[in-house]
Each structure stands twice: as structure tokens, then as C-alpha cells.
Amino acid sequence: MTPGEPLIRWDWIASHLDEFAFRLGEHFELTVIAVGVGLVIAFALSLLILRAPRTEGPITWVSGTLYTIPSLALFALLVPYTGFTVLTAEIGLVSYTLLILIRNIVRGIRGIPADVREAAVGMGYAPREILWRIELPLALAVIFAGIRVATISTIGLVTVTALIGQGGFGFLILTGMQRSFFTTEMIAGAVLSVALAGAADALLVLLQRRLTPWTRAA
């Protein structure tokens, strides 16, 4: 930090709005792909757990182990194989979503009252229809809780991927540090990342309310 320099230079911020917009798009894209792909994989693994409960231990162990690997180390390990690419970033980001998503999907579906399932079978729902029309809609509230946590943590993690040439708002933090601690740029990157997480969370809450109107009845 240069002596005499203010903490935030507003003129620099005003002249870099285009860059912010670009980084927002990048950050958003990395997050949506990570949570989207994570959701598809977690959904498949959750169905496997629900059909064959013996697979729950191994699947939880693997996703839990992935979750404990420090993100910096994971990206560093992947670079020799997949390079400084979006793929490297996404492999890491997706890995971190699995534990929380699988846990909530499985918990949500298992939490459906036995009488509801019995009534559905007794009325003549086919097994596939029970999953799509009864179990998933009713598990939606719990699944959404998982999606919210996964989304917020992914938005935070995306900043780390700046080290492998991606990063969204993380790019601002990184270059700020490299330019002998240009605080304006670092703070801008951090604040924008937090703001994005807050906005995404609010949006998900609204979406969940639209999708589960019955939870507000009674």
C-alpha cells in the first residue's frame, strides 16, 4: 500500500464498472455451472442411496473427504492434469457441493411421513410417479435449504479459482494484492462477492416460496 493512498479510491471504482460487470458474469457462470452439475450428480447419488442404503456409507465418506480437502491444494493438484481451465475450477467447485446436496436430498425424501407414502402406493401411484409427484415436491423445502448453502459457499470459493486463471470477483482481489496491495481493488472484489452471495440467497428464497406454496398455508 502506497503511503498517503486512501483506503478506497472512488474514481478508480467509477472508471471500472465495465470490468465489474464482466467479472460478475464470470462469477455467476462459474457458480451456476458448479451448483447445476453438483445437483445432477448429487441427485443421481441420492437415488442410489435411497434404493440401496448400503451405498450411503461409501458415498458419504467420499463426498465428505472431498469436502475436507483445502481448496487451494485441490486446485493445485488438478492443474497438472487439466491446466488453468474452467474445467479445473468446476471439478473443485462441484466436489464441494456434493456433501451438502446429497445430505439434504436424502434427508428431505426420507423425512416424508410414512402415511403419505402409504396412501400414494395404496391409491395406485406407480413407483416413478411417487418419486416425481409426491416425494420430490415434498422434499423441496429441505433440498432448497441445501441448494442455498451450496450456492453461498460456491460463490465464496469461486474467488479462490482466480489462482488458476478463473475467479470472477476473485480476480480483482488477486490483482489488487499483486499491485502492492491496491486496497480499492481488493475491497471491491470482496464486497461484490459477498453482495452476489446475498442476492443469490434472496433469489433462491423467493423461488422456493413460489415452488412450495403449501408451506405457507396453515
Answer yes or no whether residue 126 interacts with another protein by CB under 8 A. yes
Answer yes or no whether residue 200 interacts with another protein by CB under 8 A. no
Buried b / exposed e across 83-113, counting CB within 10 Å, b at 16+? eeebebbbbbbbbbbbbbbbbbbbebbeebe
Rounded CA separation 5/204 (Å): 39
The nearer residue to another protein, 19 or 129, going by C-beta atoms, is: 129
Rounded CA separation 62/32 (Å): 23
Phi, psi for 16 (deg, rounded to 5): -120, 20
Q: Which of 6, 11, 51, 115 binds another protein (CB under 8 A)?
A: 115
To another protein, the closest distance from the beta carbon of 43 in angstroms equals 19
Answer yes or no whether residue 209 interacts with another protein by CB under 8 A. no
Contact indicator for 156, 190 with CB cutoff of 8 Å: no
Rounded CA separation 27/169 (Å): 6
Work out the burial of residue 82: count CB atoms within 10 Å of its CB; fewer than 13 is exposed, 13-18 middle, 19 or more buried: middle
Cell of 84: 488453468
The nearer residue to another protein, 70 or 213, going by C-beta atoms, is: 213
**CA geometry: angle at 37 spanning 34 and 41, to 5°?**
130
Site size for another protein (CB under 8 A): 22
To another protein, the closest distance from the beta carbon of 48 in angstroms equals 24
Contacting range for another protein; rule: CB under 8 A; set: 52-60, 123-131, 150-158, 191-199? 123-131
Q: Which of 32, 72, 116, 191 binds another protein (CB under 8 A)?
A: 116
Answer yes or no whether residue 217 interacts with another protein by CB under 8 A. yes
Cell 467479472: give the residue.
23
> Footprint of another protein on residues 21-60 (CB under 8 A)?
none
The nearer residue to another protein, 6 or 124, going by C-beta atoms, is: 124
The nearer residue to another protein, 17 or 218, going by C-beta atoms, is: 218
The nearer residue to another protein, 80 or 122, going by C-beta atoms, is: 122
Residues that bind another protein (CB under 8 A): 113, 115-126, 129, 134, 137-138, 212-214, 217-218
